[in-house]
Amino acid sequence: MQNTPSTESVFSPISAWIPLAAIPGTIILLANLVSGSGGGEAIGFIIFLGIFFFLIPALIGCFVVGPNQSRALVLFGKYRGTVRKQGFYCTNPFTLKHKVSLKAHNIATQTIKVNDLRGNPIEIGAVVVWQVANTAQALFDVEDYVDYVDVQIETALRAVAALHPYDEQGNQVIVSLRGDSETVAEELQSMIADRLSRAGIQVLEARISHLAYAQEIAQAMLQVQQADALIAAKQKIVEGAVGMVEQALADLSNRKVLEMDDERKATMVSNLLVVLCSQESATPIINAGSLYS
């Protein structure tokens, strides 16, 4: 059974300057009253009691809330509320004042080794920006919210890496870690935010900061990428060469420059494709005889 999430409430304590300003006046008043009644030795004792029972508890109950800071107050095991407004305040001296930073925290995960969708070992790391949105949940719903954030970010990063391949292969239309970084970042941020909602943490940004094949397969995968790039380049060259040959034959036929039968066309197409698709410059050979010799 899941516990009900804690709810943050606003607490408005009194300003600490009020009791601090009243302390000297109270001591002077007590001293005047005792001196007027003729009890000289009792003056020091009453002043001591005033300091002990009023000044010390007042000082213990004072606390400061700085910019982008908060204090969650707990009195005798009961949550009283959170002070977010900066200032100098005073409250019951028995109140526990838990400081919770409201600033944006930037965390860079360690590079971890995981398997992608195809089972290839990869190295991946992320940078996540987060801040506390609900101080009550951060303090009371998880044991240590900072450690909780670290563990959940790494867990979400592993889960996202396992849902996608490192890179696309062939003509497959699929979200890959390298080719669709924006989509993967949005998915990672959504997954981390869902996991950290229990601790009252808001995720501001999540990005992949490091992505590479593991060392044991890096060389092999580099050869695969080079082969894919070479095949793609060859396909592009062949497509262009076929288009150029087709255009050349059409122009020769339309302008009636040369009448060729199917055999001559086949020979011309073969020669043009060799010239256009070859990686080296073609060496022309002058034919002094007929086309068929």
Strands 14-15 and 105-108: unpaired
Q: What Cα–Cα distance (Å) separates residue 103 from each residue in 69, 100, 130, 153? A: 7, 9, 9, 18
Q: Kindly report, residue by residue over 257-269, the tens digit of the pLDDT.
A: 666 666 666 777 7
SS3 113: strand
CB atoms within 10 A of CB 181: 13
pLDDT at 79: 94
Give the C-alpha separation, 190 to 203, whole Å.
Answer: 8
Of 54-63, 110-119, 181-190, 229-238, the range with the lowest mean pLDDT is: 229-238
Q: Kindly report, residue by residue over 113-163, the tens digit of the pLDDT.
A: 998 888 888 899 999 999 999 999 999 999 999 999 999 999 999 999 999
Q: What Cα–Cα distance (Å) separates residue 69 from each residue in 12, 87, 104, 147, 151? A: 15, 10, 11, 19, 24
Q: Kindly report, residue by residue over 1-40, the tens digit of the pLDDT.
A: 457 888 999 998 888 887 777 666 666 665 665 565 555 5
SS3 93: coil
Strands 69-75 and 78-83: antiparallel
Q: With contact defined as beta carbons under 8 Å apart, do 7 and 136 qualify?
A: yes
Of 23-27, 73-77, 171-175, the range with the lowest mean pLDDT is: 23-27
pLDDT at 135: 95
Burial 52-88 (b: 16+ CB within 10 A, else e): eebbeebeebbbebeeeebbbbbeeeebbbbbbeeee
286 contacts: CB under 8 Å, gap ≥ 6:
none
Diameter of the chain measured on Cα atoms: 145
Strands 87-90 and 78-83: unpaired
Q: Kindly report, residue by residue over 42-68, the tens digit of the pLDDT.
A: 555 565 566 666 667 777 888 999 999
CB atoms within 10 A of CB 25: 9
Q: Kindly report, residue by residue over 79-106, the tens digit of the pLDDT.
A: 999 999 999 998 888 899 999 999 999 9
pLDDT at 166: 87
Q: What is the pTM of this model?
A: 0.68
Q: Where are the alpha helices (DSSP H) in 122-256?
A: 135-140, 145-163, 181-196, 215-255
pLDDT at 236: 77
Please report the beta strands in 86-148, taking only residues with DSSP state E, as ranges in sequence order: 87-90, 95-101, 105-108, 112-115, 121-132
pLDDT at 292: 53
Task: Quote the Cα angle for 238-243-248, to 5°.
Answer: 125
Residues 202-214, mean pLDDT to the nearest whole number: 91
Count of residues making up the chain: 293
Give the C-alpha separation, 213 to 85, whole Å.
Answer: 48
169 or 243, which is more confident: 243
Give the H or E element holding residue 209: strand 201-213
Q: Kindly report, residue by residue over 264-289, the tens digit of the pLDDT.
A: 667 777 766 666 666 666 666 655 55
User: Does residue 288 come out as left (phi exceeding 0), alpha (psi in the -120 to 50 range) or beta?
Assistant: alpha
Token pair, residue 287, equals: 């034919």
Using N-to-C axis directions, what is the helix angle for 40-50 and 17-36, rounded to 10°? Answer: 160
pLDDT beyond 60 at 203: yes
